[in-house]
Amino acid sequence: MSGKYLIVGLGNPGREYEKTRHNVGFMVIDALSARAGAGGEKKGRKASVQDATLAGKSVLLAKPLTYMNLSGEAVRALLDFYKIPLERFIVVHDDLDLPPGTLRLRRDGSAGGQNGIRSIIQQVGTQNFARVRFGIGRPPGRQPARDYVLQPFSGDEAILAQEVIATAAAALETWLTAGMEAAMTRYNGDATARAPEPDPAAELAVAQRAHELAPNDPAPLEQLIRLHKKARRLEEAAALHHKLAALYERRGETARLLKELENLAGLQPDNAPLQERLARLHEQQGNPRAAISRWLKLADVHQAAGNRPAARRAVEEACRINPQHPTALARLATLHDEQP
């Protein structure tokens, strides 16, 4: 059984749906991703997925790519593949029956007319899973609900939605750290009139003290990274990613080492030695696709710095792994053409 948590935001894929009321679940996932400084999205199990560390917990952030009415297919595939129990799963969705500006966390319940939730219940065979209901209110006049949910937020409503998105993200972090009861007590109701956030300085001091008491425990380091990223202290966060990566390396936990180095590369994309180390580690772990991607990113770094010979060597490494890789071959031809 996996120790991961799964947070799924419901919505529809495609740019035409990005800002619509029906896609608030996707928007909350984006907010959580930004809080965590998560890496790039990967597609699989009928969803777009990101690995993240939130509140010291290992979390999968997922957006189903099945369209709303078939969301359960993606959820079932993710739960099965990652072996995540239902008590570590929560879903975020829009709710016509709650007024705008309102959040309602629930341990379980019926679909309540929400087709994405109905699909999940059908696929997992139970309604006993947690959810965050994001109020969007009923359409005005006689406007059909289907048209209303597929319209974007506008004006004051758009400003309010951004507030509620941030509150929903905070509620989910509370769910991760303190459980559903605490999250419901604090966040159910008017999302703009919630209790004050914890004092960031106090949170940082507690996490720092926890790290000092248990320097070989990754959880306090993960919490410190999250707090520094939240405060946009990215240099401090990067230094802690280095520290956590070194801890995992000492423990021989290569998968976690790779994850930390990937997170660090997100903060330091122009770090050439880091890009090369990731490329070699991915190749050692039997992941040629990721290795090639890192060699090509390293080539970008060298090319941007005006070091064409180093860029060419990086592309040649990508071609060594896959001599038929079309992007690498095209880059290599371009670099050879540009030789003085």
Rounded to whole angstroms, the Cα distance separating 15 from 11 reads: 11
Q: Give Cα 285 to chain centroid, integer Å.
A: 23
- The whole-angstrom separation of Cα 116 and Cα 13 is 13
Is 22 among the catalytic positions? yes
The count of other CB atoms within 10 Å of the CB of residue 123 is 17
Q: What is the CA radius of gyration of the chain?
A: 22
* Cα(22)–Cα(11) distance, integer angstroms: 6
Distance, in Å, from the CA atom of 340 to the CA atom of 334, rounded to the nearest integer, reads 12
CB atoms within 10 A of CB 313: 15
d(CA 334, CA 167): 48
Under a CB-based contact definition with an 8 Å cutoff, are residues 85 and 257 in contact? no
Question: Which of 22, 211, 228, 325 is flagged as catalytic?
Answer: 22
Catalytic site positions: 22
